């Protein structure tokens, strides 16, 4: 604690974010017997765009980008029903036999549970954007081997103060990953954040991480990553419906310790996503990037680019690739030690990635959207860019050498002249 205070007092140009975790005794993959590898996906997740397009083209069905975008928009606005139900609701809407699109959103005591993309007229949505009949038949056919959700929530304990729910999500092949739903409530505004997993296990081998000791079992596909947001959204919707149905004034403790009624805050849908669950996101690069694109898609979750954060233990080449492919999303670096020897002792893969090179890659990501007249960036330009686009340094205060006064000073020097969240 003294080391943290010293760092805060000595580096006033930084903003520090403190997160307190209460570890529950819920069984996880880290302490249960699991399979060594993943099974082939069957059924395939409909949220995996690449898998869907490949299967459609194999059957001679071709959709335009607009038609595919329309399908995912409608599926999202209907809160992800089963595919046969989606097809039925689609035909009812097109034929004008549906009562209204709000029937999908569930009405309780005359109040519609608010969706991120509210629908005012069912027929208006479909006007001029009809989906091909061959595609709808494909969705309704069991042999197409696709499902809206291929995973399920195994358990979902919630903290006593009602702010945090840890979801153990069972994948279709029996593996379990963890995802966390966090409700942030304060006087200025409220939001819900989901921490998602990107892999089953992890290959990085960090000595202090339970997932790192498991080894790698396999990657999550894009659809399985996005399904974690769907599960979180269903939980938030259930809570909103229950409160309005029973007129319950549930209470959440705000960040400053005061209490606030849930009915007074906006927690109906996910506003932030962080890739800080199981796995190294950049080792599952293609699926993570595609999932990020789904999250920021204005027709689906419509998250602001700076509301999506990808965390990495420091795979420098992939950090730079992310800067080229998705420069708008946030990047977080799991540092945990302020110098190379100490970091190599707790993060085995650090031997391949020098700490200075990682910090440079982090700078490049913050500066990606800036324009320099001479092709180089000075101290003031770095400070200015890092104010507009914040990066995060994650540092676990482990008992031992990495939490000393000297390490606090070293971390301050390493991150000097940057506006960071630590």
pLDDT in tens, the chain (422 residues): 444 444 444 343 333 333 333 333 344 444 445 566 788 899 999 999 999 999 999 999 999 999 999 999 999 989 999 999 999 999 988 887 655 444 434 432 333 344 443 333 445 555 556 899 999 999 999 999 999 999 999 999 999 988 999 999 999 999 999 999 999 877 666 789 999 999 999 999 998 998 888 899 999 999 999 999 999 999 998 888 877 776 655 555 555 666 555 544 455 678 999 999 999 999 999 999 999 999 999 989 999 988 999 999 999 999 999 999 999 899 999 999 999 999 999 999 999 999 999 999 998 898 887 754 445 566 666 666 666 667 899 999 999 999 999 999 999 999 888 888 88
Rounded to whole angstroms, how far apart are CA atoms 317 and 245? 51
Count of CB atoms situated within 10 Å of the CB of 95:
10
- For residue 169, the SS3 value is strand
> What is the structure's pLDDT at 368?
83
| Paired sense of beta strands 272-275 and 259-261, if any | unpaired
> What is the structure's pLDDT at 126?
55
Q: Are 369 and 329 in contact (CB under 8 A)?
A: no
Q: At what angle do helices 222-246 and 285-296 cross, to 10 degrees?
A: 40
| Paired sense of beta strands 259-261 and 251-253, if any | antiparallel
> What is the structure's pLDDT at 107?
32
> What is the structure's pLDDT at 384?
64
> What is the structure's pLDDT at 102?
42
- For residue 242, the SS3 value is helix
Rounded to whole angstroms, how far apart are CA atoms 218 and 209? 17
> What is the structure's pLDDT at 24?
38
Q: At what angle do helices 379-388 and 355-366 cross, to 10 degrees?
A: 70
Give residue for tokens 């030690």: 337
> What is the structure's pLDDT at 248?
55
> What is the structure's pLDDT at 245?
73
Encode burial over 155-178: b for 16+ CB neighbours within 10 A, e otherwise.
ebebeeeebbbbbbbebbbebbbb
> What is the structure's pLDDT at 244?
73
Cα separation values, 84 from 88, 146, 237, 252, 372, Å: 6, 11, 22, 38, 53
Q: Phi/psi at 340 (nearest 5 deg)?
A: -65, -50
> What is the structure's pLDDT at 39?
84
> What is the structure's pLDDT at 352?
95
Q: Are 43 and 51 in contact (CB under 8 A)?
A: no
> What is the structure's pLDDT at 141?
95
> What is the structure's pLDDT at 361?
93
């Amino acid at each position: 604690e003294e080391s943290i205070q010293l760092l805060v007092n000595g580096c006033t140009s930084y903003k520090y974010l403190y997160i307190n975790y209460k570890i529950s005794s819920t069984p996880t993959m880290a302490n249960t017997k699991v399979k060594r590898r993943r099974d082939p996906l069957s059924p395939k997740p409909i949220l995996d765009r690449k898998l869907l397009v490949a299967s459609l083209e194999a059957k001679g069905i071709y959709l335009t980008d607009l038609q595919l975008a329309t399908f995912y928009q409608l599926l999202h606005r209907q809160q992800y029903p089963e595919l046969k139900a989606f097809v039925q609701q689609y035909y009812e809407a097109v034929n004008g036999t549906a009562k209204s699109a709000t029937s999908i959103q569930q009405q309780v005591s005359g109040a519609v549970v608010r969706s991120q993309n509210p629908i005012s007229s069912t027929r208006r949505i479909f006007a001029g954007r009809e989906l091909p009949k061959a595609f709808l038949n494909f969705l309704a056919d069991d042999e197409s081997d696709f499902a809206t959700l291929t995973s399920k929530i195994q358990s979902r304990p919630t903290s006593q103060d009602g702010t945090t729910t840890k979801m153990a999500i069972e994948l279709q092949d029996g593996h379990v990953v963890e995802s966390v739903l966090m409700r942030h409530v304060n006087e200025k505004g409220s939001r819900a954040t989901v921490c998602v997993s990107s892999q089953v296990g992890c290959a990085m081998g960090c000595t202090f991480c339970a997932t790192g000791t498991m080894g790698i079992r396999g990657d999550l596909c894009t659809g399985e990553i996005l399904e974690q947001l769907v599960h979180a959204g269903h939980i938030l919707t259930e809570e909103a419906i229950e409160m309005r149905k029973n007129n319950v004034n549930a209470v959440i403790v705000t960040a400053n310790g005061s209490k606030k009624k849930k009915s007074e805050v906006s927690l109906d849908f996910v506003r932030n996503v962080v890739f800080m669950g199981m796995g190294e996101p950049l080792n599952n690069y293609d699926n993570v990037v595609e999932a990020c694109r789904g999250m920021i898609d204005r027709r689906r979750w419509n998250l602001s680019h700076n509301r999506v954060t990808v965390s990495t233990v420091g795979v420098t080449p992939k950090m730079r690739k992310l800067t080229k492919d998705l420069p708008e999303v946030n990047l977080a670096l799991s540092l945990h030690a302020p110098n190379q020897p100490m970091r190599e002792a707790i993060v085995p893969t650090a031997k391949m990635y020098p700490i200075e090179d990682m910090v440079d890659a982090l700078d490049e990501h913050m500066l990606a959207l800036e324009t320099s007249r001479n092709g180089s960036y000075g101290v003031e330009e770095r400070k200015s860019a890092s104010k507009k686009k914040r990066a995060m340094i994650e540092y676990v205060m482990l008992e031992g050498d990495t939490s000393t006064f000297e390490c606090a000073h070293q971390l301050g020097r390493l991150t000097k002249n940057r506006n960071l969240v630590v």
